[in-house]
Amino acid sequence: MSNDRTLLDTLAGQEEAFVFKAFNEITAIEIGEHLLRAAREGNLPVVIDIRTSDRTLFHVALPGSSPDNDDWARRKSNTVLRFHKSSMRVGENYRLKGREVSAELGMDPFDYASHGGSFPVRVIGTGVVAAITVSGMASEDDHGLIVRVLEDYLSDE
């Protein structure tokens, strides 16, 4: 049980650590380009998607990804934009309670996914304004790619 709590604490800590001073379309493009560069260097078959609640700011599909990854990205982003937590954290919370995304909880699985790979864009003094999403690898790897890029990007801010 402590390992489960440790993962939740780690995920919450990442969300607290990776907060933006400001975020706009240019920021989304810059982060998207960093993710794209990392994905290309690793020859990763992923979709990268950065969106607000009402529009897409950055989107790319790399070789080896599929249209299904676009749908996973949309569903994981919806989860972040609804709960203001990473999709991996939402999924881990549900897993510990023996639950999963379902209509019974008011979430259609065709619109929400609680697998790792979408991360909230939190702005100081504003809150969550967007979701950064990667889809195409294992859940933990999708999440990890975003975390590595944000750690590097925000250290330069």
| Average pLDDT over every residue of 147-151 | 97
Exposed / middle / buried, residue 11 (Cβ in 10 Å: 0-12, 13-18, 19+)? buried
Convert the pLDDT of each residue in 39-85 to its tens digit: 999 999 999 999 999 999 999 999 999 999 999 999 999 999 999 99
Position 150 scores a pLDDT of: 98
Q: What is the distance between the alpha carbons of residues 144 and 137, in angstroms, rounded to a whole number? A: 10
Portion of the chain with pLDDT greater than 70, in percent: 97
| Average pLDDT over every residue of 137-147 | 97
| pLDDT mean across residues, the chain | 94
What are the residue ranges spanned by the domains of the chain? 2-155
Closest by Cα among 9, 42, 16, 13 to 122: 16
CA dihedral 149, 71, 107, 4 (to 10 degrees): -40
Whole-model pTM?
Answer: 0.93
CATH match for 2-155 among 3.40.50.300, 1.20.140.10, 3.30.70.330, 3.30.450.150: 3.30.450.150
Q: What is the distance between the alpha carbons of residues 18 and 154, in angstroms, rounded to a whole number? A: 7
118-123 sheet: strands from edge to edge: 19-20, 118-123, 127-135, 47-51, 56-61
